[in-house]
Amino acid sequence: MWPSPMAARAAAGGCSSAGLALFGFRPLHRAVRPGAAFSWGQSSLHGGCRSRLAHSLVDSVLDELRSRRRLRVSAKIGLQGTKELSDNKIDKRALQKGLLLEFQKDSERSLLAVVERPDGKKNWMVTDQNGILSSIKPQQVTYVVPGVMNFDSSKIDEFLEKAQDLLDPTVLECAWMELSEKDKSITVEEFAEIVYGTKESLESYCAHFLLSRDIVYFVKVESRDYSMYQPRSPPQVEELLRRKLAKEEAEKELEEFIHLLKSAKALPMESKPPKSSWLGDEKIKQKIEALQAYAVDACDDEQRRLAANILKSMGFTRTSSAALKLLINIGYFPVHVNLDLFRYDVRIRYTDKVLSAAEELLVDRPDSDMHIRKDLSTLKVYAIDVDEADELDDALSATRLPDGRIKVWIHVADPTCLVKPRSIIDREAMHRGTSIFLPTATFPMFPERLAMDAMSLQQGKQCKSVSISVILHPDGSIAEYTVENSVIKPTYMLTYESASELLYMNLKEEEELRILQEAASIRAQWRRSQGSIDTAMIEPRIKVSNPDDPEPNINLYVEDQANPAMQLVSEMMILCGEAVAAFGADNNLALPYRGHPQSNTAVSAFSHLPEGPARSFANISVLRAAEMDFQKPITHGVLGIPGYVQFTSPIRRYVDLLAHYQVKAFLRGDSPPYSAGDLEGMTFIASMHVKVARRLHSNNLRYWLLEYLRRQPKGRKYNALILKFVKDRMAALLLVEVGMQVTTIVSRGKVGDEVSVVVETAHPRDDILSIREVIEDTDDAEE
C-alpha cells in the first residue's frame, strides 16, 4: 500500500524553508517569525496545534488587495504598467503592440512572446522567447503579464531567468494549507501578493506559472470578472498526490528502462544480454512484454500507451515494425523471430501439471490391450517418412498370398494404450489439435518424451501398434480387411529419397517393398476408375539450422508428390482410411468420417493440360468443400473411395486419436467413449487449432522461402511453370527449383509452358516478392 503522500511530505519536513521564508517574511511587510511560519504551514495540513490570530495573515492580505486596486510598477525591470490588464480577467480583444503574454504553442508547450502587430481581423503577430515571429489566435493566449507596456522581445530570456529564481512549487502546498481551511478562492495577483509580497509583473507571472501548471492543490474556476483559483478539498489533494507520486515513480522507472535499452542496443550482437535477463525483474518484464505485444498488434490499451512512450523516448516511430526493430536491436528477439507464435498465442510449452502426468505414464507404461495383441514382430516392416521426422506414426508390410493376391499391413502407432479419453494429456492434445511443424522447430501435440520415447515407432524395438491388414482384389479394390491390436518390430526407417532408391534398385531381397509398390500401383488405377482426381503437386520443404543466428543455414528440399516412394506411402494411407471407414460401417461405430463431393467440372475438362503440377493445379481449383459425418461413411469423390477416416497419425493429429479411442474400445468389447455428437464437438475444437497451425506453417514457410530467395545471386534465373492466367497476361507461376507459387506478367506461353524469371526483390519481414520474366534472345537461343 502506498504511504500517505501528505504524511510523506510531513515526514520530509513539510514545506521547504525557501517557500516558508517567502510566506513568513514578504507578504505586506508583516513581521512573522520563521518558527511561526513553519508551524503554520504544517498545522494546516495535519491538524496540529497552532496559535490563531484574530485576523489571519491571508485574511489581511485579501482584504487589503480587494480594497485597493492600484497599479504597481516593477522596480526590477523598469516597465510601465497597464491598469486594464493588471487585475482583470484576460480580454483577448484588448491585445496591443508591446504586451508580454503567454500563449499555447502546442499541446505540450506554452511560450512567452511580445505582441508585434495585428494579423488580419483576429490574429496577432508575436515574437516568442525563441526569437520566432508567428501568428497566433486570441484563443491561444493563456495569460497577459500585467504592468507591462512596450516590452522588448530581446529581454524575454532575462525575464525568464529572474522568474526562475522565484518558482518554488512548495509554496503551492503552503498556500493551500491556509486557504483550504478558509475555502477561499484567489486571483493570480492575490496569490502573488500573498506569496511574494507584491503583484508586480515578474511576481504575477510566477504566480500564474505555478497555479496554471499545478495539478494537485488548486483548480481554476472562471468568474464574471476574474479567473480564480480555488483550493481543492483535502481528500482530492490526497488522491492527486498519490497519483503524482505514482506517476513520478513510473517516470523514474521508465527513465531507468530506457537507459537499459540504450546500453543493450549499443552492444555488439554477440554481447547482447540473454532474453532471460529481461524477464527477471517484474517491472522490466512488464515493459518488454508491452513492446512485444505492440510488435504483433496484440496489445491492450495500457500496453499500447506504455510501448508508445518507450518508442518515443528511444527516438523510434510508434509502429509495430519499430517495436520489433527495437526488440531485435537489444537482443531480446533474434533477427528472424517468428512473430506468429506470439500473434496466435501458440502453445509451445507444457504446464508442469501436464509434464508430471506424462512422466507418470512413462514410468507405468500401462497397456490394457496386452492380452489381445497379435504378435506381428516377424514381419518385415518399412517406416518411410521425411528425414527429420521425430514422431513416426505408421509403417508398412506386405506379402503375396499363395493365390497370387496381395496382402498389405498398415501398422499405426498406438498412443491410446497410454493416454485415456478425457485425461489431462488428452485434453491438452485436443486444445493443440495437431503437432506443428515449422522450418525452425517442431511443437508436438504430446509432450516430447511421451511422443518420441513411448508412442513413436522405433527401429529394431518391440512397438505397440494397431495393424490394419487388407487383402486386395486383382483390380485393387478391397477383398478382405482386419483391424487388430498388435506388436511389431520395425525393420527399416527410410526417408522418401532412400526408399525411392531401393525401389529403383529392384533388389531381390527387398521383395516386400516391390510388392508394396505393386499394391500402390493397382490401388491408384482402381481409384482412378472410381473417379479420383490427381492433386499431386511440387511442394517445398525447408529445414533451418541455428535459426537464432542472424544468418542461419537454410536447407531447401523440393518434393515431387509424384515421387514413387511418396505415391506408395500415400496410397497405403488412403487404403487404411478406407478400411477403417468400412470397419466403422460394418460395426455401426461413430467415427470422424471424411468425405469430398466430386466437382461439377468433369476430370476430362483438363485432359488437354500436361500431366503434373499444371493439371493438378487446375483440378484443385475446382474442388468443392470437404464434408464430415460422425455416424456413417460418406463418399470421398476426390480420393475415389466409398468412405474415409484419418487414422494413420494419432501422435500428430487429434482427430486421428479420436478414431483410435473409438476403434480400440470396440476391439476390447467396451462401449465407445464418445457419441457422434461428442465427436463432432471435439473435432470442431481441434479443427480451430489445426487451422491456426496450418496458417502458422504456411506463413513461416513463405518467410524462409523469401529469405532463401533474398540470399541467391542477383540475376539468377529460375524455371517457372505457368499454372493459370489470373487476368490478361498476369499469370500464376510455379518456381520449379523452389516449389513456390508466385505471380507476374508473362509476355508469351500458355498454361503448362515454362518461362524464365528472375527475382527482383525478396523481403521476408515485409512479405514482399517481386518477380520479372526474362525474355530470352531468340538468336542466342538458336546458337
Beta strands in 607-729 (DSSP E): 627-629, 644-645, 717-727
How do the domains of the chain map onto residue ranges?
Answer: 99-235, 242-333, 352-698, 712-773
Q: So what's the pLDDT on residue 86?
A: 39
DSSP 427-451: HHHHHH-B-EE-SS-EE-SS-HHII
Q: Give the separation between CA 347 and CA 684, rounded to whole angstroms.
A: 18
Q: How far is residue 740 from each of residues 366, 537, 721, 743, measured CA to CA in Å?
A: 46, 11, 10, 10
Task: Give 505: exposed, middle or buried? Use CB within 10 Å, 0-12, 13-18, 19+.
Answer: exposed
Contact between 445 and 652 (Cβ < 8 Å)? yes
The pLDDT tens digits for 581-590 are 999 999 999 9
pLDDT at 188 over 50: yes
CA atoms within 13 A on the CB side of 349: 4
Q: So what's the pLDDT on residue 778?
A: 52
Instruction: Please give the residue that has the higher pLDDT: either 65 or 671.
Output: 671
pLDDT at 62 over 60: no
- Which residue in the block uniquely carries the three cell numbers 538468336? 779
Q: Give the separation between CA 378 and CA 393, rounded to whole angstroms.
A: 19
Q: So what's the pLDDT on residue 183?
A: 81
The pLDDT tens digits for 348-396 are 899 999 999 999 999 888 788 888 999 999 999 999 998 766 789 999 9
pLDDT at 22 over 80: no
Return mean pLDDT, the chain: 87
Task: Provide the percentage of residues in the chain whose pLDDT is more than 70.
Answer: 86
Q: Give the separation between CA 8 and CA 632, rounded to whole angstroms.
A: 76
Q: So what's the pLDDT on residue 367?
A: 85
- The DSSP symbol for 594 reads E
Of 35-39, 287-291, 343-347, 529-533, where does mean pLDDT reach its minimum? 35-39
HEC-encoded secondary structure of 569-592: HHHHHHHHHHHHHHHHHHCCCCCC
The structure's pTM equals 0.77
Q: So what's the pLDDT on residue 92?
A: 46
- What is the rounded average pLDDT of the residues 198-210? 95
Q: So what's the pLDDT on residue 767?
A: 95
Sheet arrangement for strand 627-629 = 627-629, 593-595, 644-645
- Angle at alpha carbon of residue 216, lines to 213 and 222, rounded to 5°: 65
Q: So what's the pLDDT on residue 399?
A: 98
Which amino acid, one-letter code, is at 220?
Answer: K
Task: Give 122: exposed, middle or buried? Use CB within 10 Å, 0-12, 13-18, 19+.
Answer: exposed
Q: Residue 778's closest CA among 751, 739, 752, 748?
A: 748
Q: So what's the pLDDT on residue 365?
A: 82
pLDDT at 317 over 50: yes
Task: Provide the percentage of residues in the chain whose pLDDT is more than 90.
Answer: 75
CB atoms within 10 A of CB 695: 13
pLDDT at 178 over 70: yes
Q: So what's the pLDDT on residue 53?
A: 32
Instruction: Please give the residue that has the higher pLDDT: either 781 or 691.
Output: 691
Q: So what's the pLDDT on residue 15?
A: 53
Q: So what's the pLDDT on residue 78?
A: 30
- The DSSP symbol for 312 reads H
Q: Which helix (H) or strand (E) holds 647?
A: none
- What is the rounded average pLDDT of the residues 635-660? 97
pLDDT at 58 over 60: no
Q: How far is residue 307 from each of residues 71, 342, 473, measured CA to CA in Å?
A: 52, 16, 67
Of 55-69, 276-290, 394-408, 698-712, where does mean pLDDT reach its minimum? 55-69
Provide the pLDDT confidence category of residue 323 given band limits of 50, 70 and 90.
very high
Q: Give the separation between CA 395 and CA 414, rounded to whole angstroms.
A: 12
Contact between 739 and 540 (Cβ < 8 Å)? yes
Q: Residue 456's closest CA among 381, 374, 389, 401?
A: 389
Q: So what's the pLDDT on residue 28?
A: 27
Provide the pLDDT confidence category of residue 227 given band limits of 50, 70 and 90.
confident
Task: Name the CATH superfamily, with its identifier, for domain 712-773.
Answer: Nucleic acid-binding proteins (2.40.50.140)
Helix (H/G/I), strand (E/B), else coil: 674 = coil
- What is the rounded average pLDDT of the residues 659-672? 97
The pLDDT tens digits for 129-140 are 999 999 999 999
Of 25-39, 398-412, 599-613, where does mean pLDDT reach its minimum? 25-39
Provide the pLDDT confidence category of residue 600 given band limits of 50, 70 and 90.
confident
Instruction: Please give the residue that has the higher pLDDT: either 515 or 32.
Output: 515
Instruction: Please give the residue that has the higher pLDDT: either 345 or 600.
Output: 345
- What is the rounded average pLDDT of the residues 103-122? 93
Q: So what's the pLDDT on residue 3?
A: 40
- What is the rounded average pLDDT of the residues 539-564? 92
Provide the pLDDT confidence category of residue 453 given band limits of 50, 70 and 90.
confident
- The DSSP symbol for 641 reads B
pLDDT at 344 over 80: yes
pLDDT at 477 over 60: yes
Contact between 697 and 437 (Cβ < 8 Å)? yes
Provide the pLDDT confidence category of residue 95 given band limits of 50, 70 and 90.
confident
Q: So what's the pLDDT on residue 6?
A: 40
pLDDT at 104 over 70: yes
pLDDT at 17 over 90: no
Provide the pLDDT confidence category of residue 42 given band limits of 50, 70 and 90.
very low
**Cell (9 digits) for 56:** 489571519
Q: In the structure, how many helices (H) and strands (E) does the chain have?
A: 24, 27
Q: So what's the pLDDT on residue 661?
A: 98
CA 753 to chain centre: 41
- What is the rounded average pLDDT of the residues 326-345? 95
